Structure 1
């Protein structure tokens, strides 16, 4: 929002935009992820058939440090999230598999606590893993693209352990497709064959259902990536994406107000999610296949 106006976004603006997205798009989605800080009004606008996931982490916690220690919202718990009508708890964890054992044990213990909370409240636990490298500041660089498959896949292996009581993993695709042959126009880090092997290895890294996050790429590139993942043997179980679907509504909302945002969501936003749903029908597999296997 801030890039489209001179002043800081207000709480009312953030809440209203989330309400608009929920009201216009959840009729085409199985669920919506919201945050308790600014998303609670939007929970009342969800389609009757849409599920609700609420985030448990503080937004953008500790990204100024290479440690990126996890932190929950101060006045929330799995119990309170369930009391708000949520169908699942979502928690975001930054994880560098090559960090010190002391640091990673601290992060693992934190996730164990959340998992135990969710078991006690009988509510599903979605863990979102964002892999990173303590020594590489630019996650969009070719340098990081070279190590990303190792970082993403190894983290999935760690948190597939039953001790964490995780029900679904929300993960990145194992490569930066911008650096994959045939996808980007610049430097090539991976051939298509190498990238395909990483998708297959990722699928074999867990017995849990896993869904892909969009990481803010364009709707078109995300859809192309899902097709490539499927062709590579990745039996992923869906996606949980935001910006790739509704990002354009922000500019319309700030510049021209609610009516313009609704119009964008009903046209371009609908097209984005409708096209994505069609791709998923051809590429994703049911989560029950992993649970029942």
Structure 2
């Protein structure tokens, strides 16, 4: 792995004492509303804000940072633990499914300057990217990320770029069909956006395989364990800056096993930004039993999820300082 990093903005405020990013993600907006709507007929904005605040208050004492959005997350940001860093999302939620390319779009009334003024220690932007889509689409995305990278550099905020792969010709990215192309999509797009021109401080990425199709982890096999391990090793070689894993909506236990597998394969990932694997089961409790029950769940099951994940990270993740020095 290359150890020279152009981005000069330190990410120490987002790391724990070992230089590992053990961050909690709850910047979901549309997805969280859909989760709540499974149990409630109406989901007012206040309910979304309240749930985010409960998560922040109860779980940030055990996280190095929390990722929130400025639309519903500002009250939660104010209630985070004092030592916990703050990442703020800059993108609009979701994407326009009626147009080609899943083109990126930032929040209308926000800028990196405003995120910084709201207390952000870093800016996060989500980009959907199909490596094999047309240059007409991907060149637009590259230019957009260049602009955000320059904006972050000017404001002195680290730029966390979240990359989510897809294939424009495959509708289900959880399918066996997509699993066969995922390693290529994930690893090669990392190589693209790790280039210094984008000023990315940290890449937030998927693991390069669908673990449910890895030998020994699921019923169907797309990759042997040896093949899967090679893809994890290749991923580390693609990153010229620190990179962390997103949980991608999988359960806590599978995510933890994935991190152990990554370490054994030689991955040099620098931590996680973990969302639903930590707090998702608390959504039903909040929606059906109320705030007090949700807080109790966070203090028990939620805390157990994040502390167990932290233990796994200390065994598996590499320090950001070692990556950038």
Q: Which residue of 2 is the match for residue 3 of structure 1?
A: 38
Is this contact kept in 1: 2:183–2:208, CA < 8 A? yes
Q: Which residue of 1 is the match for residue 118 of structure 2?
A: 84
Q: Which residue of 1 is the match for residue 309 of structure 2?
A: 276
Q: Which residue of 1 is the match for residue 173 of structure 2?
A: 139
Superposed CA deviations along residues 235-272 of structure 1, whole A, max 9, x for unmatched, are 10000011000011111111010000000000000110
Q: Which runs of 5+ in 2 are unaligned?
A: 1-35
Q: Which residue of 1 is the match for residue 293 of structure 2?
A: 260
Q: Which residue of 2 is the match for residue 291 of structure 1?
A: 324
What TM-score comes out, normalization by structure 2 length?
0.88
Q: Which residue of 2 is the match for residue 97 of structure 1?
A: 131
Is this contact kept in 1: 2:195–2:240, CA < 8 A? no
Cα deviation, residue 206, structure 1: 1.1
Q: Which residue of 2 is the match for residue 116 of structure 1?
A: 150
SS at match of 1:4: coil
Superposed CA deviations along residues 104-125 of structure 1, whole A, max 9, x for unmatched, are 1100000000001001101100
Superposed CA deviations along residues 66-122 of structure 1, whole A, max 9, x for unmatched, are 410000000000000000010000000000010111211100000000001001101
CA distance in 2, matches of 1:116, 1:18: 30
CA distance in 2, matches of 1:50, 1:250: 23
Aligned counterpart in structure 2 of residue 220 of structure 1, from 222, 241, 253: 253
Is this contact kept in 1: 2:244–2:270, CA < 8 A? yes
Q: Stretches of 4+ moved more than 3 A in 1?
A: 63-66
Aligned counterpart in structure 2 of residue 238 of structure 1, from 271, 274, 278: 271
Question: Larger RCO: Structure 1 or Structure 2 (Cα < 8 Å, ≥ 6 residues apart)?
Answer: 2
CA distance in 2, matches of 1:6, 1:117: 40
Q: Which residue of 2 is the match for residue 173 of structure 1?
A: 207
CA distance in 2, matches of 1:54, 1:169: 15
What TM-score comes out, normalization by structure 1 length?
0.98
Is this contact kept in 2: 1:94–1:131, CA < 8 A? yes
After the TM superposition, which residues 177-216 of structure 1 pair with which residues of structure 2 at under 5 Å, given as runs?
Answer: 177-185=211-219, 187-216=220-249
Q: Which residue of 2 is the match for residue 125 of structure 1?
A: 159
CA RMSD after TM alignment? 0.7
CA distance in 1, matches of 2:234, 2:177: 21
CA distance in 2, matches of 1:3, 1:145: 29
